[in-house]
Structure 1
Amino acid sequence: MAGLIAAVVGGIVAGCLGGSPLQVSGPAAGLTVIVAGLVDQFGWQVTCAITLAAGVLQILLGISRVGRAALAISPVVVHAMLAGIGITIVLQQLHVVLGSTPSGDAFGNLMSIPESFRDANPQAMILGASVIAILLSWKKLPRFFQQIPGQLAAVVLVTLLSIGFGDSVERIKFDGSLLEAISAPVLPQGMWGAVFIGILTVALIASVESLLCAVAVDKMQSGPRTNFNRELIGQGAANMASGALGGLPVTGVIVRSAANVDAGARTRASAVLHGLWVLVFSIFLAPVIMMVPQSVLAGLLVIIGVQLVKFAHIKTALRTGDFLVYFVTVTLVVFANLLEGVLVGVGLAMALVLFRVARSSVNTQRLPMQDGRAVWRVGIEGSCSFLSLPRINRELYSIPASATVLLHIEADFIDFSVLEAVEAWRSQHESNGGIVHVEDYGTRRLTDAAQGSPRRGFSTGVLSSGLAAWKRWQHPDVASGNSNVDGLPVLRGVSKYHQHNAALMMQDAKLLAQGQDPSTLFLTCVDSRVVPNVITSSGPGDMLTVRNMGNSVGGAGSDLSFEAALEFAIDRLDVNTITVCGHSNCGAMTALLGNDHLNDEGDAPVDQWLKGMFESRQALSTEHPVRLDAEAAGYSRIDQLALVNVAVQLENLSKHPRISARVAEGSLNLVGLFYDLSTAAVVRVSAQGIEQPDLLKQD
């Protein structure tokens, strides 16, 4: 009766107030042993008071907003928890389907399966198998039948079938009255320390079970997500009500919740109605309940248990290297208890993350001899902490004395212990006649470890991808060998490309080697700070790129290289877009704006070239829409000229005899861009003005 009170209260109170709309709450199976101990120690009514107080503590936890910590639990642990519960249900309810009595633990149920099959009750087995068959085939029936939940149809149909079996099958027993079972809690007479421990234990275990169940329910359905803090408050209110009425502690129950989701529930009304139906049947329809054979409900539970074990989750755990966490969690949930299994699983998952994240990759390679001396390369990558010291020391001290060592470090985290270990080895190696060259390319360098507490830098992938400038990772004190040529930045960059990115390029390189098919001709300035592929998120083969001073399409200082590229792009490659890209703080624009002698005769190459862009300088002094927009946006005079220059070059392109017809008919697009170096933003430029980028817009 106390369990039924908890089921009614859990459904109605937690259903109305909780933060997980589809979670169904009821008496907590995970608290059975604890509640039994509390009843034995304090009596039933004091246990009810403990339940009520535990509810108050849960509400305080919810108000404290600690509920979202449940999201920090690894998905593989949640999947394993569900699978463990499913296996436990199947092992237990299989005996009931066979008409036998299950053991008190999973191991006993597993060992006694042969005995239950030997002594099976044929009538009970027929009923249980019928429920299983109906549930397996229900979703294959026409949509008209599927409007009725398969679980409800199976229980009703097979219960009607069981009437012909009479008393040969064991049915649900329902003794006593729900209303008479209601009782008020009583305060304990002393032993307040033990009472407080009981309150804390019930509150924490009930909260953990409910939050874990809510996380699992979210993974089962695509509807509204759980508000975990509200869920704690709802569970606390339910426990207060259950304790006040003489009921068992309440938690979210995964079996009921899974049945709720599988039946097609969409709103919290399903959980509330669950509590109302339990109340109605317990008070008014007890004789109907007692008609249902136990093997019928057992067949239903066997299907639910099997559905909780997802083979897709097992495959994922195997593929991602998390199978050990999955296996240990499942085993402990089945053969120990839910809380112990989850806690060990979380701990093991955290240890695995620590092992993966906090360890570094260390490899040693022997290179060809130089000047009669052995040369070794030692690469250390990743997160370098004291946990990496055994492997780092093993590799470093395995190198022969007097050898030349190229120590390549690319780390995103280095603590002082690693610096100390490397310096100690370096000192010893050099004292024995060896030579050590350190290549420190990481976002965290060895010297950083001595400057303060260790911090993680940006991903080293940025340094390895070609996005980082040489100055970010090539330092004056770095030497990669005895040759001066090896120290040239461009050759170091090529070496790093071969180490990190050449393999990634291999697949595309084989395809690109057969020919090019770019869609865009990209004209930009020679300025080294403008990297077209970076600002357009493009790769090899996407754009035919031409660069000249001030991104000019021609004029007095006509650029034959651009004319040749334009002919090739239009006639041979049939590009559909021509892009002109200027940039801020442009040296060509600075010279153009400050040179008052462009009309004079002069042979200087720069002066000759700038004359071709004199038209842009003249446009700057007019009411040009681009200049007005740029001035309103706060751009400097030089950047205003750079923006206007892009618009002028687009206008010149639109009149170009080779492309004007295609532009007019719409088969060729002209695009103007402006790269703002100070903000790394790209601005769209057209004859009508400029369009600032929406940095919050996502694909």
Structure 2
Amino acid sequence: MLIAVPLSLGIAVASGAPLIAGLISAIVGGIVAGALGGSAVQVSGPAAGLTVIVAGLVQTYGWAATCTIVAAAGVLQLLLGLFRVARAALAVSPNVIHGMLAGVGVVIALSQLHIVLGGQPHSSALDNLLELPGQLVAGHLPSAVVGGLTVAVLISWPRLPRRLRTVPAPLVAVAAGTVLAVVLDSNIARVDLPDAPLDAFAFPRLPQGDWFGILGAVGSLALVAGVESLLCAVAVDRLHRGPRANLNRELAGQGAANVVAGLLGGLPVAGVIVRSSTNVAAGARTRASAILHGVWVLLVVGVAASAIELIPLAALAAVLVFIGLQMVNVRHLRSARRHGELLAYAATACGVIGWGLFQGVLIGMAFALALTVRRLAHVTVEVQPREEGGWLVSVGGSLTLLSVPALHRALSKLPDGGEVELRLNIDYMDHSGIVAVDDWRADRERSGGVVTINELHHQWYGDAMAGRTVPARKPVPQLAFAQSWSATTAATDPARPRDARIAARRLLEDGTREFHRRLAPQVRPLLATLARTGQRPVHLFLTCADSRLVPNLITASGPGDLFTVRNVGNLVPASTTEPDSTIAAIEYAVAKLPVRTITVCGHSGCGAMAALLRPGTADDLPHLRGWLRHGQPSVERMRATAAGSRDELDLLCQANVLQQLDHLRTLPAIDDRVRRGDLELVGGYFDIAAGRMHLLTEAPTGPGTPS
């Protein structure tokens, strides 16, 4: 509430609407959207991002007709929510949305700067910019001083000690500007609220003019307000651990709030991130917090209207200038640049500033679509000579009809004859790509060349040649680049030791190069953050050293998520006092890291367990033989319940997991934390052939049961 009052008044000023309209929307947004919306803690009200649309509607149709458009936009939002299409609104590129907000921020700052200087804003951002030098010369000094003090408080307030920042910065800034205006006692324009409550209601009337333009205004207002509210709801979900937002209900709730706001003469309503994040930080857990926000604003308007009328418009305008400049978010700029969408961001912002919000969004979406098409047309082709002769051609990206010309140019430069390995490390291949590859292969083989085609992910080409349907699916990005059939065959062939050594080294070199080219740009921002903040995993994952078991792949996790310990047979020495690497890692994880769960994960066909079932297998490996003694209790456990079973190996692999969980409890530091409820122990079993992860529990008829 302390933030809502000054911001609502300022947004009303920037929109060219009656000042009371901003307060009406703050009340309606809190009560109606809070009660009917799909987010438990989101706070709704007049939003700075809608200022440009509303200002244009007021200038074109007048305020009363704008109220009708607001109500009609609410009806449209309500229908969209009821038809459950809210998630479709999130298909708009985030960089277009961020560019739109940046453009709106610049427009707001340019217009409100004139009010800070004691003048009046002009109809367009370009006019405001061109007239700014003249306004600076003819500026009203008292208004400029009040505005300057307001901005100074907003800038300096976050730098004060935390205990002094319990009061929101906008409230303090507006209060300071108001006190200064009273002290100066000069002719400074102030808030002017109606004397009688009924004067607050600008009863809607039908707009006059081009009905296509009116329908377009309704659609654009509904879309922009709806998308902004939904994005806000998604962002707020990341700030709390309560129930997740129901986006369709949220859109319907916003629509109902806009219907009420329009009928009562208020500004359009949308979810607002500043008020919502403050609500969460204050400890909000239920929708009652948003409803009470609206109730408190209503009480303030009813009880303290005379105090509100002391507020100078220059102070409110200064708050809007500050907020407008903050809407040009440097973090969003960097994100757009990292993802190659800076052009869409900049085009949207420039379009909003130069032509208008709706036109700017259309321009941004066109650029975003063009960038998407460009990516589909992008393919990388690297040609490298092999040490043993011939050529390696590595193709990355998407091989579609748009990228076939680039592939054809690269392949046509290869000399005739010789062996060529075409390594397809692509995420999709359409019919044009399949035909182009097959035609090139056939032509080269007719001229005496040898062609080997290796598809590192899905077999699009192989399926097409076999007459199978080619699915439009993407590969799992974590799949190893090294798993090329010809390369792994050469690397594991004992009859050719030199070739095997060269092939094995090439696997590492090619894999490293592929990581730098494709995956590193995607994970580099996360890795940079982890390098700066340090690791804080909450999960210790103890598993076997088997190369077929990849912890991050089977848990869909990434850097910084798992503290991983691997050894032969996923064993935990029980009650040992000797220095041990596994125990040391566990000790460090529970004492120095915020680990709350330990998972012991075994797998099917474990070689260590097979060695335990066949004594003497590891006699020529003394260190391995000594290590496997920690698995002997697992064998005894399995045979006590399932002796003679034909599936002894798999049963032992599962029994071993449960036994290692018992071994963990022999460590005092682990047992104490488990008893206190600070740590949970989990058993996992990965079926390699099925590619399926199971959780294990104790069973009365056997060592463990997948669940």
Class of the TM-score when normalised by the shorter of the 2 chains: 0.5 to 0.7
Given that 1:23 and 1:214 are in contact with CA atoms closer than 8 Å, whether structure 2 keeps it comes out as no
Select which of 9, 16, 24 maps to 2:45: 24
1:234 and 2:241 aligned:
no
The verdict on how the C-alpha distance between 1:624 and 1:4 changes in structure 2, with shifts beyond 3 A counting, is same
Q: CA deviation at 1:422?
A: 1.8
Q: CA deviation at 1:208?
A: 2.7
Q: Deviations over 1:133-189 (max 9, x none)?
A: 223333455666544333233323432332354453333455785514647667899
Q: Deviations over 1:643-686 (max 9, x none)?
A: 69969x99xxx9xxxxxxxx99999x9x9998755555588899
Q: CA deviation at 1:127?
A: 1.2
Q: CA deviation at 1:250?
A: 2.0
The verdict on how the C-alpha distance between 1:93 and 1:39 changes in structure 2, with shifts beyond 3 A counting, is closer
Tell me the residue number matched to 1:252: 270
Tell me the residue number matched to 1:380: 395
Tell me the residue number matched to 1:13: 28
The verdict on how the C-alpha distance between 1:172 and 1:369 changes in structure 2, with shifts beyond 3 A counting, is same
Please tell me the residue identity of whatever aligns with 1:531: D
The verdict on how the C-alpha distance between 1:501 and 1:545 changes in structure 2, with shifts beyond 3 A counting, is farther
Match runs of 1:468-479 below 5 Å: 473-474=485-486
Select which of 328, 332, 348 maps to 1:309: 328
Q: Separation in 2 of the partners of 1:166 and 1:172?
A: 15
Q: CA deviation at 1:100?
A: 2.2
Q: Deviations over 1:358-414 (max 9, x none)?
A: 6332112344685xxxx3332213332212112101111222344543322233422
Aligned to 1:381, the other structure's residue is in SS state strand
Given that 1:443 and 1:460 are in contact with CA atoms closer than 8 Å, whether structure 2 keeps it comes out as no
Q: CA deviation at 1:26?
A: 6.9
User: Which 5+ residue runs of structure 2 have no aligned equivalent?
Assistant: 1-15, 517-541, 554-561, 586-599, 626-631, 672-681
Bigger mean CA offset, 580-589 vs 87-96: 580-589
The verdict on how the C-alpha distance between 1:144 and 1:84 changes in structure 2, with shifts beyond 3 A counting, is same
Q: Separation in 2 of the partners of 1:689 and 1:413?
A: 48
Tell me the residue number matched to 1:300: 319
Aligned to 1:55, the other structure's residue is in SS state helix
The verdict on how the C-alpha distance between 1:290 and 1:643 changes in structure 2, with shifts beyond 3 A counting, is closer
Q: Deviations over 1:327-352 (max 9, x none)?
A: 22222232232333334334433543
Aligned to 1:464, the other structure's residue is in SS state coil
Aligned to 2:198, the other structure's residue is in SS state coil
Bigger mean CA offset, 175-184 vs 452-461: 175-184
Given that 1:22 and 1:217 are in contact with CA atoms closer than 8 Å, whether structure 2 keeps it comes out as no
Q: CA deviation at 1:415?
A: 1.4
Q: Separation in 1 of the partners of 2:193 and 2:642?
A: 82
Aligned to 1:405, the other structure's residue is in SS state strand
TM-score (norm 1): 0.67
Q: CA deviation at 1:115?
A: 1.5
Q: CA deviation at 1:455?
A: 2.0
The verdict on how the C-alpha distance between 1:195 and 1:445 changes in structure 2, with shifts beyond 3 A counting, is closer
Q: Separation in 2 of the partners of 1:672 and 1:209?
A: 48
Q: Separation in 2 of the partners of 1:628 and 1:643?
A: 15
Tell me the residue number matched to 1:464: 481
Given that 1:38 and 1:198 are in contact with CA atoms closer than 8 Å, whether structure 2 keeps it comes out as no
Q: Deviations over 1:70-104 (max 9, x none)?
A: 44444433433333222222211112112222221
Match runs of 1:469-508 below 5 Å: 473-474=485-486, 495-501=506-512
Tell me the residue number matched to 2:411: 396
The verdict on how the C-alpha distance between 1:318 and 1:628 changes in structure 2, with shifts beyond 3 A counting, is same
Given that 2:31 and 2:295 are in contact with CA atoms closer than 8 Å, whether structure 1 keeps it comes out as no
Given that 1:172 and 1:294 are in contact with CA atoms closer than 8 Å, whether structure 2 keeps it comes out as yes
Match runs of 1:49-60 below 5 Å: 51-60=70-79
Q: Deviations over 1:551-596 (max 9, x none)?
A: 9xxxxxxxxxxxxxxxxx9999877599x99976799999999x9x
Aligned to 2:510, the other structure's residue is in SS state helix
Tell me the residue number matched to 1:280: 302
Given that 2:70 and 2:221 are in contact with CA atoms closer than 8 Å, whether structure 1 keeps it comes out as no
The verdict on how the C-alpha distance between 1:361 and 1:288 changes in structure 2, with shifts beyond 3 A counting, is same
Please tell me the residue identity of whatever aligns with 2:54: T
Aligned to 1:382, the other structure's residue is in SS state strand
Q: CA deviation at 1:202?
A: 0.9
Please tell me the residue identity of whatever aligns with 2:102: A
Tell me the residue number matched to 2:341: 322
The verdict on how the C-alpha distance between 1:261 and 1:130 changes in structure 2, with shifts beyond 3 A counting, is farther
Please tell me the residue identity of whatever aligns with 1:83: A
Percent identity, please: 29
Match runs of 1:531-546 below 5 Å: 531=546, 534=549
Bigger mean CA offset, 72-81 vs 300-309: 72-81
Tell me the residue number matched to 1:617: none
Aligned to 2:269, the other structure's residue is in SS state strand
Q: Separation in 2 of the partners of 1:492 and 1:117?
A: 72
Please tell me the residue identity of whatever aligns with 1:251: V
User: Which 5+ residue runs of structure 1 have no aligned equivalent?
Assistant: 506-521, 525-529, 552-568, 599-604, 614-619, 655-662
Given that 1:17 and 1:233 are in contact with CA atoms closer than 8 Å, whether structure 2 keeps it comes out as no
Q: Separation in 2 of the partners of 1:311 and 1:408?
A: 40
Tell me the residue number matched to 2:131: 112
Q: Separation in 1 of the partners of 2:94 and 2:226?
A: 16
Tell me the residue number matched to 2:364: 345
Q: Separation in 1 of the partners of 2:141 and 2:689?
A: 81
Tell me the residue number matched to 2:290: 268
Q: CA deviation at 1:53?
A: 4.4
Q: CA deviation at 1:417?
A: 0.6
Q: Separation in 2 of the partners of 1:233 and 1:38?
A: 28
Tell me the residue number matched to 1:452: 469
Q: Separation in 2 of the partners of 1:583 and 1:289?
A: 69
Q: Separation in 2 of the partners of 1:624 and 1:368?
A: 53
User: Would you say how many aligned residue pairs link Structure 1 and Structure 2?
Assistant: 594
Q: Separation in 2 of the partners of 1:175 and 1:120?
A: 28
Aligned to 1:250, the other structure's residue is in SS state coil
TM-score (norm 2): 0.66
Tell me the residue number matched to 2:595: none
Aligned to 2:507, the other structure's residue is in SS state helix
The verdict on how the C-alpha distance between 1:94 and 1:213 changes in structure 2, with shifts beyond 3 A counting, is farther
Given that 2:460 and 2:470 are in contact with CA atoms closer than 8 Å, whether structure 1 keeps it comes out as no
Given that 1:24 and 1:271 are in contact with CA atoms closer than 8 Å, whether structure 2 keeps it comes out as no
Please tell me the residue identity of whatever aligns with 1:210: G
Please tell me the residue identity of whatever aligns with 2:481: S
Please tell me the residue identity of whatever aligns with 2:44: Q
| Greater C-alpha radius of gyration | 1
Q: CA deviation at 1:251?
A: 3.2
Q: CA deviation at 1:543?
A: 6.3
Given that 1:5 and 1:178 are in contact with CA atoms closer than 8 Å, whether structure 2 keeps it comes out as no
Aligned to 2:122, the other structure's residue is in SS state coil
Given that 2:393 and 2:421 are in contact with CA atoms closer than 8 Å, whether structure 1 keeps it comes out as yes
Please tell me the residue identity of whatever aligns with 2:638: V
Q: Deviations over 1:592-648 (max 9, x none)?
A: 99x9xx9xxxxxx99x99xxx9xxxxxx9xx975346559xx97554477469969x
Tell me the residue number matched to 1:158: 177
The verdict on how the C-alpha distance between 1:304 and 1:270 changes in structure 2, with shifts beyond 3 A counting, is farther
The verdict on how the C-alpha distance between 1:117 and 1:534 changes in structure 2, with shifts beyond 3 A counting, is same
Given that 1:581 and 1:646 are in contact with CA atoms closer than 8 Å, whether structure 2 keeps it comes out as no
The verdict on how the C-alpha distance between 1:178 and 1:3 changes in structure 2, with shifts beyond 3 A counting, is farther
1:428 and 2:467 aligned:
no
Tell me the residue number matched to 2:140: 121
Please tell me the residue identity of whatever aligns with 1:238: A
Given that 1:52 and 1:243 are in contact with CA atoms closer than 8 Å, whether structure 2 keeps it comes out as yes
Q: CA deviation at 1:61?
A: 0.9
Q: Separation in 1 of the partners of 2:163 and 2:610?
A: 77
Aligned to 2:44, the other structure's residue is in SS state coil
